[in-house]
Structure 1
Amino acid sequence: MSSQNNPDFFQSKVLGHPSGLFVLFFTEMWERFSFYGMRVLLVLYLSASIIGTNPGLGWDIKSATALYGTYVMLLYITPVFGGILADKYLGSWKSVIIGAIIMTIGHASMAIESNVTFFIGLACLVIGTGFFKPNMPSILGEMYKDFPEKKDGGYTIFYMGVNAGAFFGMLLCGYFAERFGWHWGFGLAGIFMLLGTIQFWLSKPLFKTIGDLKKQTPEDEEKEVFNHPDEKIRNPFRFKDIVIIILVSIFGLLFAFNDPISKHMPEYDLFKFMDITYGEGNTIRGQYIIVILTLITFLYLIVTRINRYGKVVRDRMFSIIILACALVFFFMCFEQGASSLMIVARDYTNRVMEGNAAFAFNIANSLLTIVPLLFISWVLVRLAKQTFKVISASNITLLICFALIWAAAIVMLRTDWTTNAYKATYKAVEVPDIDKKTNLQRTDKDGNLLFKTEPIGLLDSMQTDYKVLDITSTVGSKQEFKVGQTVFIHPESGGKVALLTAEQKSKLAHDYSEHKENRNLITQATISQELKGQVEIPTTWFSTINALFIIMLASLISKIWDSKFNPPAAMKYGYGLIFVAIGFLVIGLGSMGMSTTAKLSLFWLVAIYFFHTVGELFISPVGLSYISKLVPARMMAFMYGIWYLAIAIAQKLAATLGGQVEEIQKEHSLSYFFFLFTGIALFAALFVILLNPLIKRLMHGVK
């Protein structure tokens, strides 16, 4: 917004910045709370057993990650169209409101336990993000239009809001979903999305004309400043370009939807007629042939279009394309945090802590929750003091948000501090580990048949056919029990054993009957020991580490960019990819020699998130900055579209590869899976570092 439209805008300040920045800070915080809170649950919910104390959809890992990959891929494509609609017809302010409302409907739909509403919710989130995502930064940029010296600090504070929302969303939505039911997690995301939308809508009197539609006139285009004569060259889309774009879009979307559908229901594979079989039953799937041909066609479009520009602009745009290729490799590895690492945390990590370890974790988790909440609440009070007279209703809505988030945090911490822990002993049986798709017993890499241990259920007649074992597991409960007391337990996803309440036992019995299961795994057990304390770390807790490390390390890394040690763009990408490779190498070494029944220490997951966060800070903030420096303003929409498309492709690749974790672990080992990504990241790092001289030359002096 220009200072002439609102000369008093910078008179109302919080921490040296206009109050409006912190309205945007909290709006983005609640949106990111909802987005990451839902995102961290998606693969877990899809792959959770269909029968359990917290049942999911029962999909296999490949199908779950395929759907997740399609979902997140679309999240990076729709903002391209949302930005165009905002620029031409709606304006940024209306677009944010429309997007937030659609996303609220999406979260509410997912909170209803129904397959139909679940997928309606996903569709709403994709559409709503398209309107919301590109327009919040646009409002922020307009706000600082006449105050460029304040812009960097404003974006830094805004970025902190993004990470604060991601941190609390994953922490609280994840906790409530895993402890109390998936609909609690999805519902919590929806509540804060709704309240965040209301507080933003009610803050309009503070922003006045900021975010309103402003159409560019021919006179405005004539005023555009060009740094080089080549930038004046116009390059309208030709008929052939439009045809290619339409075909690429159609086949790209067909692949995106066909991938999860065909993996979950192979009979509906649209491209099965193109499958190529070779050797002993090996198959190249038709959908992968289609997507490769589509990508080649799209690359042809990009190259031929860029070649029509003058040499300087052409070279600079090619340098962006090279960096975009490196970005694909980065996100392909980094985004394992939302797919394979979630499965590793759930199924292969020791998340149960007892005694002093549980006490230490509860203290650390309490501090990590309360200290940031206290700081952000203090900012809220400062904002209310400055703006209450102008936007009182917006401030009241924010106060309600914070009352709810404090209540949710207190419930989480109180539950962990007061959970009782026991050892429960029960009878179990070794049963064949059956592959659901082939209906054959799995084997290890040496050809030995694999078995898994399951409790002997109440209606189980198999205990006489297989080896019977006495098993002791740690269980937690809010209820109190005595040693020798009889209880009932049930196996859950990730090897967890749940201690059942009478209500849960009754519901599980009904579910077994409804699904006509032959085996009822509700099992009688005996309390054999009472422990001092116990806490089971939620699977989703590990995802919060990334946001936490960003908040801790962002300012430190940014100081390097302001010093004489600031490396060129290609080297930043190379160093970032090296840190990603180190993260995979560390956890790969930590999982070496691990038996099928052993669990990873949680410190290996903390380590990989640390190194990956450092890598992210080297790469993520750099790309969009270089686009703004390298191309003229009228070309930015095209290049931003290419950039987001590269991220979308990377997200889909990441989820597809991450879906192989279970299969690779069974056929080889968990360390083998991590070492594969170590190699991919190192290859990409070497690729971009070796191309550094070429990239510098293509940039023609831009630093």
Structure 2
Amino acid sequence: MMGHPRPLWMLFMTEFWERFAFYGIRWALVLYIVAQFHGGDASGQASASHTYGAYLALVYAGAIFGGYAADRIIGYQRSILTGAVIMAAGLFMIALPNQQVFNFGLATIIVGNGLFKPNISTMVGKLYGLKDERRDSGFTIFYMGINMGAMISPIITQVLAQKIFGTDAMPAYKVVFIAAGVGMLISLLWFWFGRAKLQGIGAPLPGNESMGAVVKVLVACAVAIPLMYLLLAMGAKTLQVILTLMFIGLGVMLLVEGIREGAVARDKVVAMLIIFAFNVLFWCFFEQAGSSFTFLADEIVDRGFGSWTFPTAWFQSVNSVAIITLAPILAWLWVKLGRANPSIPRKFGLGLIFNGLAFLLLMIALASMVDPATNKIPFWTLFMVYVIQSVGELCLSPIGLSMVTKLAPVRLVGFAMGGWFLSTGIGNNLSGLFAGMVSGEEGMTVQSAQAGYTMGFWILIGAGVLLFLIAPLIQKLMHGVK
């Protein structure tokens, strides 16, 4: 269909509804935490950012175990179905206005997402041969599915929460979470009825076809949910130490497997781990969208257009609109460039640099564009920040998914995909810590935002330039992988 395997479109829609659920709650989480558990006091912004960053970090870190469960125990199809059920349960739990139940709900979402997210991405890779030239294009199409779901969910959930079941002054956040849970159930049903098209791709390994293997995974999930709850309770700083140790352990396991497969496989693993490290930096600053950028939009951006105010939630859709608009252009550009197509490391370098340019715009806006009457910066500045970041994301994220399936040891592709998400998770946890610093102890101000975003600019530009310089070395380690 359109030059790609038919199951790609089934996976596209499954991921569309899962992302509807995931991004539907993204805009509301930190605002809800401040309103519900801190009485609306701005001093709760740092704590909310830490919780948000830790939650996202564990969502992505959980992908390691989900990838391993799919690789070795229940297969990719059953992992996706099991994860969808657990995620839906967690989304409905966080609708209850109790902090302990809320945190247990977040823990449940984390475990479910760990089984779902890495494995549906791995399934896309399994639709293509290793040398199939459609592979990168297929991942880009799949990435558009992610962003279509992410685009419409903030708009729909905001209207439900602030126009139908609540007001701008008192949003009905629980409706956001319930709508996300319904979206997750649709994702589950879509995959359940569409999986026949896969014709055995992602089925359990021989010897694990019985439901006993699924029961074992469910028991492990029942143990993992309280563990995730405890990790959330430990705080972002302690969690950062744990995640770093996990990343080191994962790297060692992948290296051992690479060495076992030979020098070429070993070098590919080394190249992949280096890129993982730069991926951490990218997501540390990109993921301000759900934390400090939300507070920035709510308090320091002029969102007024006459009698109408642009909803804070809708900023979450700007990134997705930009991705959907620009993804076909970049996909065409990579093919058009032919041999001049930038290498994978240099595409990552471009991703970091564009992310840095977004922070440069904020740095300039906060230094010289603040309206003295309102103490706010123009609407277009934050809007363009999301657009510029989207260009960087397109240079990095879909290429990263494809890269893992090309560089990972053959027996541990799902585990390596979990490693990709773990590096993203580490970046997300750091994003919460960074956002907490930007907000300070009393809530975000123009001065605190300017200082934090200036730091972000210099770190991103420095990392991007460094990656460009060492790109030839990394490309050599990749042994011809494009």
Measure how far apart 1:48 and its partner are.
2.5
Aligned-partner residue type, residue 190 of structure 1: G
> Aligned pair in 2 of structure 1 residues 56, 125: CA closer, same or farther (>3 Å)?
farther
Match of 1:558 among 311, 331, 334: 331
Q: Does 1:576 align with 2:336?
A: no
Q: Can you give the 5+ residue segments of structure 2 that lack an aligned partner in the other structure?
A: 167-171, 209-226
Matched, 1:108 2:100: no
Report the CA distance between 1:555 and its aligned residue. Answer: 1.3
Distance 2:75 2:250 in 1: 32
Alpha-carbon spacing, 1:135–1:696, altered in 2? closer, same or farther (3 Å): closer
Q: Does 1:347 align with 2:294?
A: no
| Offset of residue 301 of structure 1 | 4.5
Cα 1:633–1:349, aligned 2, differ >3 Å: closer, same or farther? same
Aligned to 1:576, the other structure's residue is in SS state helix
Q: Shift of residue 606 of structure 1?
A: 1.1
What is the Cα deviation at residue 85 of structure 1?
Answer: 2.0
8 Å contact 1:42–1:68 — kept in the other structure? Answer: yes
Query: Could you tell me which residue of structure 2 aligns to residue 473 of structure 1?
Result: none
Q: Is 2:407 aligned against 1:634?
A: no
* Contact 2:85 2:112 (C-alpha < 8 Å) held by counterparts: yes
- Cα distance in 1 for residues equivalent to 2:365 and 2:446: 19
Question: Which amino acid letter does the alignment assign opposite residue 325 of structure 2?
Answer: M
CA distance, structure 1, for counterparts of residue 384 and residue 408 of structure 2: 38
Write out aligned runs for 1:216-235 (5 A).
Answer: none
Percent of aligned positions with the same letter in both sequences?
33
- In the TM superposition, residue 652 of structure 1 has moved relative to its aligned partner by 0.5
**TM-aligned CA distance change 1:20 to 1:576, over 3 Å:** closer
Which of 320, 324, 338 aligns to 2:272? It is 320
Of 58, 70, 74, which aligns to 1:86? Answer: 70
Partner of 2:286 in structure 1? 334
TM-score by length of 2: 0.82
Amino acid aligned to 2:234 = N
Shift of 1:697: 3.0
Q: Following the alignment from structure 1 to structure 2, what is the Cα–Cα distance between the partners of residues 568 and 58?
A: 44
- 2:363 aligned counterpart, secondary structure: helix
Following TM superposition, by how much is the alpha carbon of 1:75 offset from its aligned partner in structure 2, in angstroms?
1.0
1:607 equivalenced with 2:384 (yes/no): yes
CA contact (8 A) 2:65 2:114 kept: yes
The match for 2:395 is: 618
SS for the counterpart of 1:112 is coil
Deviations 1:278-329 (A, max 9, x none): xxxxxxx8x4995698489759957984895654433332222221111111
Are the structure 2 counterparts of residues 572 and 26 from structure 1 closer, same or farther at C-alpha, using a change threshold of 3 Å? closer
Q: Note the 1:198-217 alignment, pairs <5 A.
A: 198-204=189-195, 209-215=200-206
2:144 is aligned with 1:160: yes
3-state SS, counterpart of residue 48 of structure 1:
helix
8 Å contact kept, 1:177–1:186: no
Tell me the distance in 2 between the aligned counterparts of 1:341 and 1:39.
Answer: 12
Change (3 A) 1:176 1:313: same
Instruction: Please list the CA deviations of residues 422-464 of structure 1 after superposition, one character each: whole Å capped at 9, or x if unmatched.
Output: xxxxxxxxxxxxxxxxxxxxxxxxxxxxxxxxxxxxxxxxxxx
Equivalent position of 1:591 in the other structure:
366
- 1:651 and 1:79 map into 2 onto residues whose CA distance is 14
**Cα distance in 2 for residues equivalent to 1:72 and 1:60:** 18
Pair 1:90–1:696, CA change in 2 (3 A): closer
d(CA) in 2 for partners of 1:139 and 1:642? 16
Larger % of strand: which? 1
Matched-pair contact (CA < 8 Å) for 2:121–2:401: no
Corresponding residue of 2:317: 544
- Bigger drift between 307-316 and 337-346 goes to 307-316
Hey, what's the Cα distance between the residues in 2 that align with 1:555 and 1:94? 32
Is the alpha carbon distance of 1:17 and 1:66 closer, same or farther for their aligned partners in structure 2, counting shifts above 3 Å? same
Q: How big is the shift at 1:590?
A: 1.2
The alpha-carbon deviation at position 120 of structure 1 amounts to: 2.6
The 3 A distance-change label for structure 1 pair 164 and 330 is same
Q: Does 1:646 align with 2:423?
A: yes
User: For the Cα contact (< 8 Å) 2:125–2:405, is it kept in 1?
Assistant: no
SS of aligned partner of 2:25: helix
Residues 607 and 40 (structure 1 numbering): CA distance in 2 closer, same or farther, change over 3 Å? same
Equivalent position amino acid for 1:696 in 2: Q
- Residue 112 of structure 2 is matched in structure 1 by 128
Separation (CA, whole Å) in 1 of partners of 2:401 and 2:243: 26
Are the equivalent residues in 1 in contact too, given 2:254–2:269 (CA < 8 A)?
no
Equivalent residue letter for 1:33: F
Residues 545 and 606, structure 1, Cα contact 8 Å, conserved in 2: yes
Q: CA deviation at 1:612?
A: 0.6
Change (3 A) 1:108 1:611: same
- Cα separation, partners in 2 of 1:187 and 1:300, compared to 1, 3 Å: closer
Q: How does 1:161-176 map to 2 (within 5 A)?
A: 161-176=145-160
Q: CA RMSD in A?
A: 3.5
TM-score (norm 1): 0.58
- 1:259 corresponds in structure 2 to 235
Deviation at 1:579, TM superposition (A): 1.0
AA of the residue aligned to 1:584? F
Deviation at 1:80, TM superposition (A): 2.0
Give the alignment of 1:234-633 within 5 angstroms.
Answer: 257-259=233-235, 287=238, 294=245, 298=249, 301=252, 305=256, 310-354=262-306, 534-562=307-335, 563-564=337-338, 565-593=340-368, 594=370, 597-633=374-410
Partner of 2:457: 678
Greater CA radius of gyration, 1 or 2?
1
Q: Which of 175, 190, 209 is residue 184 of structure 1 equivalent to?
A: 175
Aligned to 2:224: none
Q: Is the 8 A contact 1:70 1:257 kept in 2?
A: no
CA deviation after TM superposition for structure 1 residue 58, in Å: 7.8
Counterpart of 1:32 in structure 2 is 19
SS of the counterpart of 1:702? coil
C-alpha distance in 2 between matches for 1:293 and 1:146: 31
Q: Give the distance between the partners of 1:101 and 1:89, measured in 2 at CA.
A: 18
Cα distance in structure 1, aligned partners of 2:444 and 2:107: 33
State the distance in 2 between where 1:639 and 1:619 align.
Answer: 17
**Paired amino acid for 1:345:** A
Give the number of aligned pairs: 451
- Aligned-residue offset at 1:650: 0.8
| Gap change, CA 1:619 and 1:139, over 3 Å in 2 | closer
Larger RCO (CA within 8 A; separation ≥ 6): 2
Cα shift at 1:661: 1.7
Residue 182 of structure 1 deviates from its aligned partner by 0.4
Indicate if the aligned counterparts of 2:438 and 2:448 stay in contact, CA closer than 8 A: no
CA deviation string 1:638-668 (max 9, x = no partner): 5334322211111100111011222295594
**What code does the residue aligned with 2:46 have?**
K
Residue 218 of structure 2 corresponds to none
Describe the superposition over 1:367-422 as per-residue Cα deviations: whole angstroms up to 9, x where unpaired: xxxxxxxxxxxxxxxxxxxxxxxxxxxxxxxxxxxxxxxxxxxxxxxxxxxxxxxx
